[in-house]
Amino acid sequence: MAVFGTADAQVLMPRNIADGMITASRSTSVVARLSGREPQRFGEVDYITFNDFPKAEFVEEGAQKASTTGGFDSVKAKPHKAQVTMRFNQEVQWLDEDYQLGVLSQLSEAGGVALSRALDLGLIHRINPLSGTVITGWDNYITATTKRVEQATADADADFKAAVGLLLTASPSWPVNGAAFDSKFSWALANLMERDGSGETSRQRYPQLGFGTNVTNFMGIPVAQGDTVSGTPEAADTKVRAIVGDWQGGVRWGIQRNLPVEIIRYGDPDGQGDLKRNNQIALRMEIVYGWYVFEERFAVVEDAVTP
């Protein structure tokens, strides 16, 4: 199989490379680690929501049945296309197949990570990864929630408990089944020390966290750790340090189209100059996500904003 020598414009990845890319994507995205992907058709997808859950009624033998209350509505998950276009010297086409496969493997892995980070940045912050700017036309994203806790003390665990409390004491209350941590928040938790009557001791309050480098659980809540929580390095620090809430029911997302790898040999596909003139070819990967976020089911812990 000539990977780069084919005359076709679009080629499918070798299965082992595609599987590796999918694995890398899952391990990079905090959304994918905390919230299960579901099948979606292309386009806007409707989800039924209840404004007022129906109430059951006990009926005595021979008694009439009453009409039960309850109202429902629907929300739409909208498609969002993300793409990665990478250029490289066209001479790679003339090398042997093993080397071509190595190049394709490295590029597809890097592209897969970029696309998985795009899911986080779009769904959590509505950030365009390439420009680092907010997409103002999007109004459905996790950090649109009004449930927010500003870090006011050195006790990061107290801030986390306060965020959980905003969900559990709300009306209606929401389940808490996951949390996304920025590394700064994990570090703050790992550095908390126990206190006794004399003050702070040298004993770590949460020794199971180690240095906070790979936290997967905190206070019984599953955790996914990643810098997309703060939006960095693609964008300026959003100051978001933790997001806790109903990750299993509060996010509905899926992949509507996973397009094949496209090898582009001619033209200017990304505004960087003519490919032939620059002795280059380009590799493009695209994916179409669909999602809807119930932002009221999430609470955010954030750094105080410096005036």
Q: Please, which residues bridge with residue 48 across strands?
A: 74
For residue 58, give Cα distances in angstroms to 53, 69, 235, 244: 16, 14, 56, 37
Question: DSSP letter string over 165-189?
Answer: HHHHTSSS-----EEEE-HHHHHHH
Indicate left, alpha or beta for 62 from its phi (over 0: left) and psi (-120 to 50: alpha).
left
User: Where do the structural domains in the chain lie, given as residue ranges?
Assistant: 10-48+74-302
pTM, to two decimals = 0.79
Q: What is the pLDDT of residue 42?
A: 59
Q: Please, which residues bridge with residue 82 across strands?
A: 287
Q: How far apart are CA 163 and CA 83, in angstroms?
A: 34
Q: How far apart are CA 165 and CA 173, in angstroms?
A: 10
**Sign of the C-alpha dihedral, residues 267, 268, 273, 275?**
negative
Q: How far apart are CA 115 and CA 288, in angstroms?
A: 10
Side-chain-facing half-sphere of 130: CA atoms under 13 Å = 8
Q: How far apart are CA 147 and CA 201, in angstroms?
A: 33
What's the CATH number for 10-48+74-302? 3.90.1690
Query: At a CB cut-off of 8 Å and minimum separation 6, what does 278 contact?
Result: 87, 272
pLDDT under 70: residue ranges of the chain? 1-27, 38-54, 67-76, 90-105, 259-260, 305-307
Q: Looking at 66-167, which runs of residues are DSSP E strands? A: 71-89, 127-128, 133-134, 148-150
pLDDT in tens, 2-28: 455 544 444 444 444 444 444 444 457
